[in-house]
Structure 1
Amino acid sequence: MGCANSELNLQIFILSMLIFTASLCVGDTDPLDVAAINSLYVALGSPPLEGWKAIGGDPCLEQWEGVSCVFSNITALRLGGMNLSGQLGSNLDFPSIIDMDLSNNQIGGTIPSTLSPTLRNLSLSANHLNGSIPDALSSLTQLSDLDLSGNNLSGQLPPSMGNLSSLIILHLQNNQLSGILFVLQDLPLQDLNIENNIFSGPIPPELLSIPNFRKDGNPFNTTIIPSPPAASPEPAAMAPSPEKSPWKVTHNPSDTIKAPIPAIAGRSFKTTKLVWIVGAGFLIFIALGVCLLMLWCFKRRQENKKYKKHNTNVYTRSLHKRTSSDSPFEATTDKEKGWSSKLPPLQPAPPHHIPIIPGENLIINQAISTTATKRQIVTNSIKVYTVASLQQYTNSFSQENYIGEGMLGPVYRAELPDGKLLAVRKLNATASMGQNHEQFLQLAFSISKIQHANIVKLMGYCAEYSQRLLVHEYCSNGTLHDALHTDDKLQIKLSWDNRIWVSLGAARALEYLHEHCQPPIVHQNFRSANVLLNDNLEVRVSDCGLGSLLSSGSASQLVGCHLTANGYSAPEFEYGSYTLQSDVFSFGVVMLELLTGRKSYDSSLPRGEQFLVRWAVPQLHDIDALSKMVDPSLNGEYPKKSLSRFADIISSCIQHEPEFRPVMSEIVQDLLRMM
C-alpha cells in the first residue's frame, strides 16, 4: 500500500511538472522577463499584486498588475505608490524594459547591481533604499530620466555615471550623498536636483549652465581652489606713525624721509608709469593682431581664388538645373512615390584632384573652421561627407535608392561600405535660399545638438559645389503614414497597445523639443509622414530643428498650404501664427489617424468626411459613434475604457483655441497612465 501511494505521488509530481513546463513553453512572455519578474516578486515579499506569481506565469498574456508589454516583452513596470516593501533583489535584468517606476513605496535594501541596459526611465524615489549608487549604471547608456530622490543613499557618485550619455533628468535630492560633482559635468543634463545632501567641493561651471539646477542644502566649498588674493589698500583715515611708517621714499642710501605725503606721491608716479607700460603693450598687441589678421585674409583670398578656379574647371559641366517637372515640394502620396528625382548625377573629380573618401571616416578639415568660433564647434562635432562619397553610397542617387519626397527635398537610402544604412536628404534650392555657408554650418550644428531617443539623429552633412545635404539615421519600417495607409503588413503589427506606444514616443519627442530644449523648438511640420518607425516600431520624429528652413520665404507659404490642405494645421495658422500649441494640434491629428486608420485628408471620401478633424470632432464624446470610428483593421481588439481615454486626449489636443490645449508633458503623462 505504501509503495502504491508513493508511485501515485510520483505520477502526480511528474504530471505537475509536465503541466508547469508546458505552461512555460506556450506562454507569450519572454522567459527571461518571467524569471526577472518572479525574482522581483519574491524579493518584494510576495505583495498582493493582481496576477503576480513567484514561479512561472505569463505576465503579458495574463495582464499582471502594473505590467505593460509590447509583443512578448515586458517594456514597463509601473508600481508607484503600491505600498510595497521588501527589497529589489539582485536581478532586474528585463531584456527589453524601458520604463520602471517603483517610487513612493517602502522598499529597502540596496540598488541591484544588475539593471537592464534598455532602461530609459528609472524612478526609485521616496523609498528606504540605502548603500551607494552602484557601478552598474555605466551600462544604462539609453537612460534619460533617473530619480533616486528621497532615500537613504550615501557615498560618492560612482565614476561610471559619466557614461550616462543620454541622461537629461537626474534627481538625487534628500539623500546623504557626498563627494564632488565633476562626474556629472559632461552629461547632457537639463534638469538636475541635488538638494539636501552633503556634496562638497567646487561646483563645475558646466552644471551652473543647466536650465533647471537646484543645489541648496549642501556644504559646497567653492574656496578649495582659491583665487590669488587682491592687494587691499591701507585705510586713508589712519596715517601710520612716523616711527613705523611703511611709506618710505628713498632718495639715496643715507637719506630716508618718513613722511606719508611724499610716499603717496611716489606710489602715484609708479602707478602712472605702470599704466603707460601696460597701455603701450596693449597697443602693440592690437597692432600685431591686425597685421596677422590681414596676412591671414590675404592668404585665404588667394586660396579661395585657386579653389574657385579649380572648381570651375572640374565641376562646371556637372551641375544642371532641375527640370520644371521635378517639383521640390512633392507630397509623399502613393501616386507621387513613383516619380523619380531629377537630381543630376554629380561627376566626381579625377582621382588626382579630389579622391573619394568614405564619409564615415572623414572629419571637417580644421583649416575650414578658423574663421569663426561657431564653425570650429561644428568642425569638432559633426561628420562631413563629400558629394562623391554620397554618390557612391546612394548609387548616384538612383531611383532604386529613392525613399520619398519631403517638404525640403528628396530623400535617398545610402549604404556605407560596412553595410550601415543612412538616409540622405538633398535640400532643394528654395529651402536653402538665403542661407550662406556659415548659416548652413550653424544649422547643422544646431540639429546635431537635438539628442533624444525618439528623434531622428543627424549623422552628418555635405556642403559642396552648391549642394546642401543632410545625412540622418535610417529607419527601416518607413513612416507611420505608410504603416497606417499603404503597408498592410505593418498595419497588422499596429495593435491597439502598439498605437498607444507610438503615440507616446511621438509625444516624448515633442515634449523634449518644447520643454527641454533652450530655447524651445517648434517643429512646424508635424505629421504622420514625419513619424518614422524602426525595426521594433520605436518612433523617430524627423524634420526636427528645420523650422528656419520651413519658415523662410516661399517655403513657409508652401508648408502652410500643405499643412492646411492636408488637415494638419491649427486654426491660428490661417492668421500667420504658429506656436508650440500648434504642434499640439498637429499631434492630435496624428492620434486621430492612429484611432481611425483614416488619412488627415482624403479627397476620395464624401465631402463632409474628407477632413478628418472636421468629421471626427462631433463623435469623440459619443461612445457608440466612437466605437464605429475605430480603425477596422483592429478587429475590435481594444479595451473600451482605453479607447475613451485616447479620445479624450485627442479632443484636448484639437481644441480650437490654443490656450485650451495641454502642454506635451501633460499628454505624455496621460499616455503613460494608459500603458
Structure 2
Amino acid sequence: MGYVNWQRHVWIFLGLIAFFGMPMCRGTTDPRDVFAINSLYAALGFPILPGWVPIGGDPCAEHWQGVQCVNANITGIVLSGANLGGELGDGLQDFTSVIQMDLSNNHIGGSIPSNLPPTVRSFFLSGNQFTGSIPNTLSSLGQLADLSLNDNRLTGNIPDAFQPLVGLVNLDLSGNNLSGQLPPSLGNLSSLTTLHLQNNQLTGVLNVLQDLPLNDLDIENNSFSGPIPANLLNIPNFRRAGNPFNTTVIPSPPAFAPSPSPSRAPSPELTTGQRAFAPTVPIIISDSGPGGKFLTTKRVTWIAIAGVLTFIVVALGLCLYMSRCCKGSQPSSKITKRHEMSEYNDLEKKPKNSEPFPKLYSPLEKGYKEADLRPALRHGNDHETNSFRLKPVAERTDFKTTVTIPERKEDHRIDMTELDVDFLTPPPPPPFLQVDEDTADPILSSLTMTRPPNRSVRTFTISSLQEYTNSFSQENLIGEGMLGTVYRAELPSGKILAVKKLNAAACRKQSNEDFLELVLSVSKLHHPNVVALLGFCAEHGEKLLVYEYCGNGTLYDALHTDDETHKKLSWNMRIRLALGAARALEYLHEVCQPTIVHKNFKSANILLDDELGVRVSDGGLAPLAPSISASQLSGYGYGAPELELGSYTSQSDVYSFGVVMLELLTGKTSYDRLRPRGEQFLVRWAVPRLHDIDALSRMVDPSLNGAYSTKALSRFADIISLCLQPEPEFRPPMSEIVENLLLMI
C-alpha cells in the first residue's frame, strides 16, 4: 500500500510540473481541469482508457473516453462500468466546471473524499467498494440534484448535511451498512422525489420524511420503528417491508364532522381517485404482520357506537340545561343530531366489503342508492383532481339514472350492474368547449373545442374506453413511455384508435382545468407529420388521450426490433423518414405560436403509418412530463450537452434529431450497454468518424448493402454533424435542415 501511495505522489508531482511548465497548457482544455483529471487518473491507478494520458494532454480536443466538455471546460466524466480500480484521491475539488460525475459499477475503493467538486449536480458512485462514512462536506454541493452511493460498504450515520441541498431530487443510499437515525436536515429537501434507503441498519422513526414531496420511497430491510406518518402512506411507490413498525392508531377528524373537506388526503387503503364518505373513526393499522395492514372492523364499529351514544347523552343534557335557562329557545341541536345519526346509520348499512366510491378498474358493489355522487372540478392547490360530495335523499331534486352493463369478463372490467349513479353521464362542457351536433357520433360524447370546424376533439367515458380496449388488456398493449402506456382501441364501427393512459406522475402534474387547456392546445396541431389528437378522458382522477392509430409501430421498432419493416428501409426511404421528422419539428418550432419545444424527441416517438409515413407523437405534452434530471436524459443517448447546465431549448430538439439521423445511418440504438465501452453511446462513437469517408462507410447499416452514393452519404453525415454541434448556437434551425434534406431527394 505504501508503494502505491508513493507512486501516486510521484505522478501528482509530475502533473504539477506539467501544469506549470509543459506546453500542454496551450491546449484547448482549461489547464486547471487538465491538472484535476491527471490527478484523478493517477489516483485510479492509470487504467487503460482510450485517449487518456498520465501527464498533460488535451481531454476536450482529443476526445478522451467518458470526458464531456463545453467549450474549454470539462463538464462531465462518465465512466460507468469501465472496470476502474484504485481510489478517487483528493483532487476532485480542482475541477472548475464538472457537473456530472458517473463512476458507478466499477471497483473503486477507499473512502469517499471530503474534497468534492462544488459544481457537481449528478454524482454517481454506486456499485463500487467504498468504505468509511459519508462525508459531512456534502453540504458544500449546493447544486446537487442526483446522488447515488448505493451498493458500497459505507458505515456509520447518515450525516446531518442536507440543509443546503434544496435542489436534490434523487437520493440513493441503499445497500450499505449505514446505521443510526435519519438526520433532521433530510426534512429540508423540498425537491426530493426519490429516496432509497433499503438494506441498511437504520433505526428510529420516519417523521422527518413526512412533509417531503416523495413519489418513490424504499426503506425495506432496516430497523425503523414507531408509527408510520399518514402522509407517507399516500406515496405512490412506498416499500417498507422488513421493519418492526409498531401498531398505532392513525388520528383522523371527529366522527360526526360535516361532509369531508375537499383537501383531506385519501385513505391509504384507497386507490387514486377514491374518497371516503363515511364518518371517520380511528383505524387501527398494523404493519408488523406478513400481510401488511389490516382493519379491525368490529372494534371500529363498537368504538363508533360508543362515541355516538356518548355524544347523544351529552347533547341531551346540554339541551335540557339550555331549555331551563332559556325557555323560549328551541332544541334544534337535538334535531340536527338525529339527522346526522340517521345519515350515519344509512352508511353503516352498506355491505361489509363495499367501496365508498367506484374504483376505476375494480368491481362496484351495490349500495349508496340514497346518495348523489357528483363529480366537481377542484380548484386551488389540491393534489387530487376530483371531489365527490354526499347528498341526502331529501335534498335531491334531480332524477337518478340506472346504468346496467354486462358483467365484467376480467379483473379490469367495471361491474356496474344495477348501480344508481349519475356521474357516468358526461359533465357539462367547460367554458371553452361547445357541443358540435354536426359531427356528433352516437357512440362518443360530441364535445368539441372552439377551433376550425374540420376537426373535433371528443370526450370519452372511461367505461367506453374500457370496452374498446378490452379492459386495457395485455394483448392490446402497444407500448409504454415516459408519460404512460398506450393501448390499441377498436370502436364498434371497426375504426382503430390509440389510447395513451397517463401514469400517476403525469396525472399529478396538472389540475383538470390545466389538462383541458393542454388538450385544447394539442388539438390545434395540424400537420401531416404530427400525430392527431382525436379525444380525451378525464374521470375519477384518471387522464387519457386518444390519438389516431399508426399501424407500423415506431421508427425505433423498424430500425431495431422489427426485421420485416427493417427490410423496407432503403437509403431513399431513410432520407424520407428523416425529412418527415424534420418537417414535424420545423412546424413545432417555427410555425406554431407560441413555439413548442418537444423535449422528448427520439425514434420511439416517431410513429409510422400504413405507408411508412412519419407521425411524430407527444408534441405539446412536455408540461405533463415528470421532473427528470439531465443525467437521466443524457443516459438515453439523446440529451444535448447544455442539459447539464439546466438549459433546454428548441436547439436541444435539433441535437436529438441528429441522434435519430445517426440511428437511421447506422442502424444502431442511441445507447446500448452491451456494446464495447467505447461504442455504448452512439454519439460519442460516431461523431469522430463522420468526416472520415472510410470510417463513415464502415459505420453505415450493413442491411443497406452499399445501395447509396458516396456523395449522398457525405451530405447526410454533414447534416448530422451540424445537428450534433456541442454549442447550441451553432446548430442550424429545422427549416435549414429540411432544405438540406430536400436537396438529397
Q: Greater Rg, structure 1 or structure 2? A: 1
Q: By percentage of residues, which structure has more helix?
A: 1
TM-score by length of 2: 0.43
